[in-house]
Amino acid sequence: MKKVLAELITIGDEILYGQTLDTNAHWMSGELDGIGVKVIRRTTCGDQEEEILQAFREAAQRAQIILITGGLGPTSDDLTKPCLAKYFDSEIVMNKQALEELEQYMSSRGRELNKLTRLQAALPDKCEVVSNERGTACGMWFNNLGKVFVAMPGVPHEMKFMMKAKVLPRIKQEFDLPIIYHKIVRLAGIGESWLAEKIENWENTLPENVKLAYLPTYGDLKLRLTSIGSNLNEQKKEVDLLVQSLLPLVQEYVYGFDDDSLEMVIGRLLKEKNHKLALAESCTGGYVAHRITSIPGSSDYFNGALVPYQNDLKIHELGVKEETIVQFGAVSEETVAEMAMNIKRKFNADYGLASSGIAGPGGGTDDKPVGLIWIACAFGEKVKTRKLNLTKDRDVNIKLTSVALLTLLHQRLVAKD
Amino acid sequence: MKKVLAELITIGDEILYGQTLDTNAHWMSGELDGIGVKVIRRTTCGDQEEEILQAFREAAQRAQIILITGGLGPTSDDLTKPCLAKYFDSEIVMNKQALEELEQYMSSRGRELNKLTRLQAALPDKCEVVSNERGTACGMWFNNLGKVFVAMPGVPHEMKFMMKAKVLPRIKQEFDLPIIYHKIVRLAGIGESWLAEKIENWENTLPENVKLAYLPTYGDLKLRLTSIGSNLNEQKKEVDLLVQSLLPLVQEYVYGFDDDSLEMVIGRLLKEKNHKLALAESCTGGYVAHRITSIPGSSDYFNGALVPYQNDLKIHELGVKEETIVQFGAVSEETVAEMAMNIKRKFNADYGLASSGIAGPGGGTDDKPVGLIWIACAFGEKVKTRKLNLTKDRDVNIKLTSVALLTLLHQRLVAKD
């Protein structure tokens, strides 16, 4: 089977000027890889007609599928649509389907269609509409001599929705693709190089057609096995056996598979047990609550959170003893343990999580440097605490602490005792 | 003055497969923009000789400066060096300077030079060494018929150090560069097309040398003016005058300039007034607290937050009247107004913000569909409320609501009354 090749073209001066980080191309690369399309090149060009047309011509020489993002807005610096019209020798006319969908989208949000927004429904007459249920700029699908060009908006959530709902399914239908089977094992509480050492022997037994990738983000690690072949059942069987032989080596760090996230798995476990969770977040400042509540249906098991950013709220709202803070400080095992136990009781929960630390960049002392963070998980009459020594970077510390805190709860939820 | 044009080439299969997010090209774009070099294209290609050579040839046709990252390691899948040697018809030989620097680097870290690492000092004989003080792969500088090719390692901190210490200074020296001046106006509470309509006449008066870009994310909008010239003071004066003539048209939506964010500006205003903030977040679930506390020093003005995800916490912890919830529902103007007022009082703050809504995807009714969200800002004895009709997407709703809530507070903080 010949490989199906794709190129991604991102359009926008703001990317070339370094003002906007292009996360779209990164996400699209992963999705295309997942369905067996090989991305051979990514190009970013500016809001200049000739540069865009040149990028189209070059890409069409190499790839069968050309996916384009950005430059679809209604303003004068948005050139993707006129460039596609020129490239395909097509005329821009009001598209009935696009206009209907646009009117529906606007009216569902109780808004009027103004002159400029209406222009979004004017499209090259040689393209098919790719509906955008998340915004006003619809996508365009061109098919010319076996080359497919698809233009999508640059707003990430609009593009992602369009890719998942429309573009990927149609690519799978129209092209003869190899079968790719991915299995992701998700781990937390272990670093990449420690993991690599632990599973070195296992890794050496992997067959040719199965590739392994380590994908770490902030203390959360994905281990992805990819099998390329032509028989999904056999591939599944082979990969699942490999995973079975991996698990005993890393069991204590594994929290899930595939699209699982820590907050999702925790949600499932809490729901199963009909247990409730409450949070007292000082240094994480609401970020753990945000992660928990990002899961649909979290109101079934999440009672609530308190972010006591001042000591007097820790004392008067959360009931931490004043002498604990005076004697040990707000950033201490003693304080964080009281926080976790008290929030559990006060919010009628089965588990109470708490964080207190010096997120930085300021506020550190010799004794308690930036990056020193205490976390705790209370359950029944017990509290489990952990001390973290993290970085000098505030944002990184908040993210790493949230993973550590969720990991502490997850370990509790799956504990045998 | 003719523009100096650059292209960036990133080499690595791991980027095309969506495993590694390419932050290097983003950072380099910003740095080049800052010294007046125009990046006209960014290309990512895989670890394949022919693809890399093709990218070199194409880039050399368009740009004077070609910056390359990645593929400099000592293993067989690292092809940048052999490709450059082939492209410049050059032979790879042991480079004395590179070897000395490599030996020094290794011995300063108490490490031995092994065979594989030693190979890092073998370079094409037509390049100059660009020293790497942070790692083992040195950079290469080629100059051929006025085209400069510079290859740098893909490890971000090594590349950044090399760019700052060696590459950017030499580019400034060897090329005759224009002066670039950017000014960004930051707005919230207005959509892109509404804004475009409002400022259409003003936009038409912009001179040739000043470009305008709209950069929106989740209800937060950057309007960027870029001036290209040869006299920084004059450019600043011209752009600042243009901004002065823009402001009266959009004053109510402007919250800041350049690198400002809503949470940063709010923090500055609260600190100036010595006023304190408290939050009661239901549908935003801690995300607004996270944004506020992502700013270093936010403990100076942020008292804390309550996330009452269950109605009984809204009643017993926050003191919302039970009959309010029974009569109007938790998602109502009446409930959110009480939440805002009560959190302000309870947490001894000057401002209380509250959110309550149906974030989705489930939980909607005909009467109160997904995306219906009420927000409120309490100050003194007053409460200002707003009703939002947002999307079906939970994550988008949370983000849009956070911007709306911060905008409501910002409007209050800058109000004249």
Rounded to a whole number of angstroms, the distance from the CA of A306 to the nearest CA of chain B is: 5
Question: Which residues in B lie closer than 8 A to residue A161 (C-beta atoms)?
Answer: 393
Of A16, A30, A398, the CB nearest to B29: A16
Query: Using CA atoms, how far apart are residues B30 and B180, in angstroms rounded to an integer?
Result: 12
Q: Which residues of chain A carry a pLDDT beneath 70?
A: 1
pLDDT of B296: 96
Distance (Å, whole) CA B32 – CA A261:
38
Residue of A43, A293, A300, A405 best to disrupt the B interface, most CBs of B under 10 A: A293
pLDDT at B325 over 90: yes
- Say which residues have a Cβ less than 8 Å from residue B381's Cβ, sequence separation at least 6: none
**DSSP bridge pairs for A356:** A374
Indicate the average pLDDT of chain B. Answer: 93
The listed CATH number (2.120.10.80, 3.90.440.10, 3.40.190.80, 3.40.980.10) that belongs to domain B5-174: 3.40.980.10
Read off the tokens for B37.
């070099």
Centroid of chain to Cα A228: 24
Q: Where are the domains of chain A?
A: 4-174, 179-257, 262-414
| A309:B299 CB<8 A | yes
Chain B contact set for A77 (CB, 8 A): 211-214
Compute the nearest-CA separation of A13 from chain B (Å).
8
Residue B30 and residue A14: Cβ atoms within 8 Å? Answer: no
Between CA A153 and CA A166 the distance in angstroms is 13
Task: List chain A residues with CB under 8 Å of B281.
Answer: 286, 289
Cβ contacts of A41 on chain B, cutoff 8 Å: 16, 43-46, 51, 55
Region at B281 (left for phi over 0; alpha for psi -120 to 50; beta for the rest): beta
- Mean pLDDT confidence for B201-230: 90
d(CA A395, CA A406): 17
The reply to whether residue B16 touches residue A28, judged by beta carbons under 8 angstroms, is no
Tell if the CB–CB gap between A398 and B287 is shorter than 8 Å.
no
The confidence score (pLDDT) of residue B180 equals: 84
Query: What's CA A361's distance to the chain center, in Å?
Result: 26
What pLDDT, on a 0 to 100 scale, did the predictor assign at position B215?
81
- Chain B residues within 8 A of A213 when measuring between CB atoms: 17, 19
Q: Write the residue in A28, A58, A296 that is nearest to B362 by C-beta.
A: A296
No. of H helices and E strands in chain A? 17, 17
Distance CA A58, CA B105 (A): 42
Classify residue B367 as exposed, middle or buried by CB count within 10 Å of its CB (0-12, 13-18, 19+): exposed
What percent of chain B is predicted at pLDDT more than 90?
79
Number of A to B CB contacts under 8 A, please give it: 253
How does DSSP classify residue B3?
P
Decide: A353 and A280 in contact? Cβ < 8 Å.
yes
- What's the pTM value of the predicted model, to 2 decimals? 0.83
CB-based contact B45 A45, cutoff 8 Å: no
Nearest CA in chain B to A43: B43
Among all chains, which residue has been given the structure tokens 């199906």?
Answer: A4
pLDDT at position B80 is 95
Residues of B whose CB is below 8 A from A109: 389-391
Domain A4-174 fold: Molybdenum Cofactor Biosythetic Enzyme; Chain A (3.40.980)
Quick one: tokens of B257? 């300039």
The DSSP 8-state label assigned to residue B360 in this structure reads S
> What is the predicted pLDDT for the residue at A1?
66
Both tokens assigned to B350: 């000057």
Q: Is A201 exposed, middle or buried (0-12, 13-18, 19+ CB in 10 A)?
A: exposed
In degrees, rounded to 5, the angle at the alpha carbon of residue A337 between the alpha carbons of residues A336 and A339 is 60
The CATH architecture of the domain made up of A179-257 is 2-Layer Sandwich (3.30)
What residues in A contact B396, CB-CB < 8 Å? 134, 157
Distance linking the first and last C-alpha atoms of chain A: 53
Give the CATH class of A262-414.
Answer: alpha beta
pLDDT at A122: 95
Question: Nearest by CB to B313, which of A74, A303, A394?
Answer: A303
Q: Long-range CB contacts (< 8 A, 24+ apart) of A126-132?
A: A126/A88, A126/A89, A126/A90, A127/A84, A127/A88, A127/A90, A129/A95, A129/A97, A129/A98, A129/A101, A130/A162, A130/A166, A130/A167, A131/A101, A131/A162, A131/A166, A132/A101, A132/A105, A132/A158, A132/A161, A132/A162
> How close B93 comes to chain A (CA, Å)?
31
Find the closest chain A residue to B390 by CA distance. A109
Interchain proximity A285–B290, CB inside 8 Å = yes
B285 neighbourhood in chain A, CB within 8 Å: 289-290, 292-294, 298
Longest Cα–Cα distance in chain B: 84
List, in sequence order, every residue forming a beta bridge with B130; answer none if it has no partner.
Answer: B139
Q: Can you give the pLDDT at residue B373?
A: 98
Sorted by sequence, the CB contacts under 8 Å of residue B36 that are 6+ apart come out as B4, B177, B178, B179, B180, B228
**What's the pLDDT at B114?**
83
Identical fold at B5-174 and B262-414? no
Residue B1 has pLDDT above 70, yes or no: no
* CB–CB contact A157 B317 (8 Å): no
Nearest partner of A119 among A77, A75, A157, A160, judged by Cα: A75
Task: Please indicate whether, in this complex, the C-beta atoms of B40 and A29 are within 8 angstroms of each other.
Answer: no
Identify whether the C-beta of residue A400 lies closer than 8 Å to the C-beta of residue A391. Answer: yes
Written as one letter, the residue type at B199 is: I
Say whether pLDDT at B134 is over 90. Answer: no
Per-residue pLDDT band at B22 (split at 50, 70, 90): confident
Pick among A17, A39, A114 to test the B interface (most B CBs inside 10 A)? A17
Helix, strand, or coil (residue A414):
helix
- Residue B218 pLDDT: 86
E strand or H helix at A258: none
Q: How far is CA B287 from CA A293, B72, B373, B392, in A?
A: 9, 41, 15, 18
CA gap A399, A407 in Å, rounded = 12
Q: Which residues of A touch B308 (CB under 8 A)?
A: 304
Q: Tokens representing B11?
A: 């080499």
Element (H, E) at B87: helix B80-87
Determine the pLDDT at residue B371: 95
Give the pLDDT of residue A115.
86
Say how many Å lie between the first and final Cα of chain B, rounded. Answer: 51
